Amino acid sequence: MNRKSVTATLLAAALLSGVAMQSAFAAEEKTNPIPGIPSNSLEMWGGKDGVHEWAVALFHYIMLDTRINFLFKEFGNPERQIFLNTQLETMVLGGPNEYQGASMTAAHADLNINMEQFNAVVEAAYNACERINLHYWACNQVIAALAPFTDDIVTR
């Protein structure tokens, strides 16, 4: 195979596998809130374990909220999402990038999520912070760090 046809084959494969390919290549990067979040943010959160406790609480509140829980019941997988959200939030709070899931665009592309549903998840995030007794100001660091994903997630 010459170089041109290799490229063409790769391109076709990418198109065929669609989202799967995209997620394999486009796992998320750290976001860049302005001004930056404090360097001790992850520490304030109690490290990766703290983030995990929060993600558990987050899904507790998400699953109680009738504005959004139907989406998660139908298409979500709480166990997997708690695992992946722990990795993602640990990263955006300043930890290492160990995120193994799909990009935010790919993960939410077909869900037709609107602003109210996004805000409902934000409200659940605040409730989860309170549940794990995290200071409100520390909680806002995760909001600052996740906010840049808004346009990737809200497609309606």
Task: Out of 101, 105, 131, 152, point to the residue binding other proteins (CB under 8 A).
Answer: 101
- Does position 117 interact with ligand HEM (CB under 6 A)? The reply is yes
For 130, half-sphere exposure in the C-beta direction (CA atoms, 13 angstrom radius) is: 7
Segment near other proteins (CB under 8 A); pick from 3-11, 42-50, 52-60, 113-121: 113-121
CA dihedral 92, 93, 97, 101 (to 10 degrees): -50
Measure the CA–CA gap between 144 and 35, rounded to whole angstroms.
Answer: 9
Burial of 143 (0-12, 13-18, 19+ CB in 10 A): middle
- Does position 147 interact with other proteins (CB under 8 A)? The reply is yes
- Does position 116 interact with other proteins (CB under 8 A)? The reply is yes
Nearer to other proteins by Cβ, of 49 and 73: the residue is: 73
Task: Out of 101, 105, 127, 131, point to the residue binding ligand HEM (CB under 6 A).
Answer: 101
> Within 10 A of 84 (CB to CB), how many other CB atoms are there?
18
Segment near ligand HEM (CB under 6 A); pick from 33-41, 53-61, 68-76, 129-137: 68-76
